[in-house]
Amino acid sequence: MTDLPRNAVTRSAKLAALPLGFAGRTALGLGKRIGGISAEVVAQEIQQRTAEQIFKILGELKGGAMKLGQALSIFEAALPPEIAGPYRATLTRLQDAAPPLPAAVVHKVLTEQLGDDWRENFLEFDDRPTAAASIGQVHRAVWHDGRQVAVKIQYPGAGRALMSDFNQLARLGKLFGVLLPGLDIKAVLGELKERVVEELDYFKEAEAQHAFALEFKDDPDFCVPDVIAANEQILVTEWMDGTPLSKIITEGTREQRDRAGLLLVRFLFASPGRVGMLHADPHPGNFRVLDDGRLGVLDFGAVNHLPDGYPPVFGRLTRIFNQGDMTTVVQGLRDEGFILPHITVDVEALRGFLAPYVEPTQVEEFTFSREWLQAQAASVADLRPSNVVRQLNLPASYVLIHRVHAAGIGVLCQLGTTARFKDEVIRWVPGFAA
């Protein structure tokens, strides 16, 4: 794993450079103020350079730093594109092209986890990985009973690297406060750390995937491969063929892209009510379009447990927003912790920020596009304290839901999907149709 600095001293040094750099820039700013430059100009310059350094270092690290970057994706819209753009590109590269483990290391992990006779479990085992991600990689094999299987193997040391990142990032709360004064970053990090501990335990992933497989067995719209065997660091599931969603994005017909986007939304909205869980990593690499038109779903390491189903507050506040009652919307956001008590927001600015994201629920048919997403980002792309995005908080209990919303919208815009999304919200999101 050549692009993951796993040595604890190296990783700590990279993260420790963040507050040191900020202190240096603050001192520089003081000098400029003495020299007659306005405080507002100096503050904005400090914020921009701080953002630049944060994103550069988070982009160089994987593990916990990347998880944090993903969770804060929507706040990138509050930063200039010249800063956020390279960081997003880095995240994409890390997700899509993680370097594979050498075959010798794969065999060593299999021996440690399954015993010296691990090969007796398989009739065939391909040493070349078919996929690689932030904490593990997948190999194709043939199980001892002849079934085609996917074998997911966790990288050695992945857990230690992740925990090291989070312990370091937890010390940087004040630094993030410079950029996002309305965000309780410690609560976000705490929630992410808990979820990552679950993601490292393949037993928990196996339980989640099996629950989804049972619920969606013989479903006309979805396919989830069932679990065959698992321990803490090895997961064996049924193999699933199909066209990767990333290929549908680049080469699919209009009809294929429209259907894939609609099914993605249906799966994400329906799952909490049907399974009591939300698939929390809607990355294109985790989906396949099967020959029969169903959407195949992979990777259940990150799930949000919602035993009571999808939170009704989203549907209720969306409906109230559509009715024009911003006073109730603002109070509802405060009640849920999206606006902290000490923060005052410009109601019209908030309305302008929320309106595009609510628009798909106001019309019978809606088209997501890259241009639409770029317009939303451009509307809030500045570092002024009055920027409403920077005044908002991400409550810990909504970290994974936000991650799904932000990533899901990104995938829909890549697909350019046109569909009747309002129908899906009415059917699956409690509180909207009340």
Locate 308 and state its tokens: 């009571």
Rounded CA separation 141/139 (Å)? 6
Catalytic residue check, 346: no
Fill in the amino acid letter for 71. Answer: A
- Which residue in 86, 66, 62, 84 sits closest to 75, CA to CA? 84
Amino acid at 16: A
70 in Cβ contact with 91 (< 8 Å): yes
117 by Cβ neighbours in 10 Å (0-12 / 13-18 / 19+) ranks as: exposed
Residue 267 CB partners (closer than 8 Å, separation 6+): 221, 222, 279, 295, 297
Kindly list the distances between the CA atom of residue 381 and the CA atoms of 78, 81, 222, 356, 413, in Å, as whole numbers in the listed order: 5, 7, 37, 15, 19
Residues 6+ apart with CB under 8 A from 181: 343, 385, 390, 391
* Residue of 127, 281, 308, 325 marked catalytic: 281
> Which residues are catalytic, by number?
281
